[in-house]
Structures are given as structure tokens and as C-alpha cells.
Amino acid sequence: MPRPDELVFPSRRERYEDRRTERQPKKVLDEFFDHRTLLTVARLVSQGQFETLDFPISTGKEGGVFRASGPGGFRAVKVYRMSNSVFKRLPAHALEALRREASDRNRARLIYAWTRREHSILRRLREAGVEVPEPYGYLRNALVMELVGEEGVPSPRLQDHDPEDPEAFYAALVEDLRRMVGQARLVHGDLSPYNVLVREDRPVLIDVAQSIETEHPQAPELLRRDVTNFARHLRRLGVDTDAERFLEAVGPVAPPAEVV
């Protein structure tokens, strides 16, 4: 079996042409893959989740998403940085949920809990019929999930790509949010064109770890903020909607069910 660092961006792998301007693999390797993370990648490989990481799809202060290859095809691997930057921009309700699982003094356990949280929320949304990447597994600070795209080419974010039929896109997004709120009983809490992908002219929601239970007192306010922000972008695409109509189409956050 190759060394852990040889599993990340192996030189023999051909990168598709749109990534020619990407930063050098060595720099990304140094920024994201400390010794513990490299061992985590090696463990996931030994589990059969994938064979190699090919290139970064997106990177940020909290972590990065990488395309992975293996016998089962392409996958996406989200790697959270092992640093405090992961939690600097988290909302209070998300930190509240994490603190029930790990101490603030144990940064690694908090990051592992955050990774586990995203995996479980993705599963919950998939079961409710919401279009999100299918989660395949996780370990420590790495989450393995479906690569949203075609033939190994990742789908673009809505921020970077306008759908051909904005009205149909809007209708599909309304249905996803209706299922998210009504069936999964979750509110995204950070919905924007940056965390919605466009696949075959339909939305796919990503970055769901900060989602909030509909029973939480802040849920109605966050849902309104989500649709208000998104309505602005949809209007720029020519969709005749506003925050009130969008919110009405999604439906209200239902009150908590009574315990019998």
C-alpha cells in the first residue's frame, strides 16, 4: 500500500482541463493534510471508500472538498482543517449542539463531531427526499459523499452558473425546502447561491451541517432569512417572487409535536 501522502494528488492522475489554473498540489497538501488527516485518508482508502484524491473542487478557511477516484467511480471528500478556523463563523445554535458532544477545550473532538453531524444530516435529508449529496461514510475530519456532477466533472454552484430555466429551478428548490422543513424537520440556516449546486438544471443543497431543528426557537427567523436572501438572487434571474411568496410556497415551520 502506498504511503498516506501518495494517496493525495498522485502525479500519475490526469486532471481535467478546467483545473489547469488550480494552485500547486504541494501547497494544498501542506494546508489541509497534517499527519492525522493523512492517516485518516489512508484508513478510508483501506475501507474501500476510494483509491486516491485527485484535485480540489473547492477550498475555504474551514476546509476543502476534493474529488476522489476508485473502482466504484468518483466521489467527493470533504476535509475539515484541524484548526480553530472551523468554528470562528459557526452560528450559536450549531456550537450549542456540538458542545453537547465534546468540550470546547478539545478542538479535535469538536471537529470530529461536526463531521459526524454533517453526515447524519445528509442522511436525514436524503430520507426525506431532499436533493443533497448521498453520504457514504466519515472518519474523524473527513466526510465521503456523492460527487455531484457528470462524468467526474463537478457541478457548478448557482453563484457561478445560471440555470437555463430559472422558474423550474425555483419550483424544484421550493419542493426541496418544503420537504426539508416538513419531513426532515430542519431549516438550512445558511442558504445562499454559494451552497446550492446546479445539476441538470436542478438544485442540490450542500453545506448542511449548521442546519437547525424546526423545534428550535430561532428556526422561523432563520427560514425567513434563507428565503429572503435567495429571493433576491432569483429575481435577478427573472423569477417573479419575493420573500413572502417564497416563504408561503415553502410553508411555515410547524410547532413541535405534542408528546402523548
Point out the catalytic residue in the list 18, 30, 176, 207.
207
DSSP 259: P
Q: Is the pLDDT of residue 1 over 70?
A: no
Predicted confidence band of residue 17 (pLDDT cuts 50, 70, 90):
very low
Among residues 108, 137, 153, the one where a domain terminates is 153
Task: Report the C-alpha gap between 189 and 209 in whole angstroms.
Answer: 10
d(CA 65, CA 50): 14
- DSSP structure class, residue 8: B
Residues 64 and 148 in one domain: yes
pLDDT at 18 over 80: no
> Domain holding 137: CATH number?
3.30.200.20
In 3D, which of 83, 183, 190, 165 has the Cα closest to residue 126? 183
Q: Mean pLDDT: which of 19-23, 103-107, 250-254 is highest?
A: 250-254
Higher pLDDT, 228 or 29: 228
Q: How many domains does the chain have?
A: 2
- pTM for the model: 0.86
Structure-block grid coordinates of residue 105: 477545550
Are residues 98 and 36 part of one domain?
A: yes
Residue 72 within a domain: yes
Residue 48 lies in a domain: yes
pLDDT over threshold 80, residue 244: yes
Is 5 noted as a catalytic residue in this protein? no
From the list 197, 199, 216, the residue with the least C-alpha distance to 94 is 216
Q: Which residue has the higher pLDDT, 236 or 24?
A: 236
227 and 166 within one domain? yes
pLDDT above 50 for 8 = yes
Cell digits for 97?
449542539
Q: Mapping DSSP to helix (H, G, I), strand (E, B) and coil, where does residue 76 land?
A: strand
Quick one: 146 and 238 in the same domain?
no
For residue 54, pLDDT over 60 is answered with yes
CA dihedral for 58, 59, 62, 66, sign (positive or negative): positive
Catalytic residue among 5, 160, 176, 190: 190
* Residue 256 falls inside a structural domain: no
Q: For cell 504511503, what's the residue?
A: 3
- 52, 161: one domain: no
Model confidence at 70, in pLDDT bands (50, 70, 90)?
A: very high
Residue where one domain finishes, among candidates 127, 153, 179: 153
All three cell numbers of 29: 497538501
Q: What's 169's domain CATH number? A: 1.10.510.10
Burial class (CB in 10 A: 0-12, 13-18, 19+), 111: buried
- Tell me what the mean pLDDT of segment 94-112 comes to: 75
Is 207 catalytic? The answer is yes
- Residue 140 and residue 60 share a domain: yes
Q: Which of 216, 214, 217 is nearest to 250 (CA)?
A: 214
Q: Which range marks the domain in which residue 91 is found? A: 4-153
- One domain for residues 15 and 115: yes
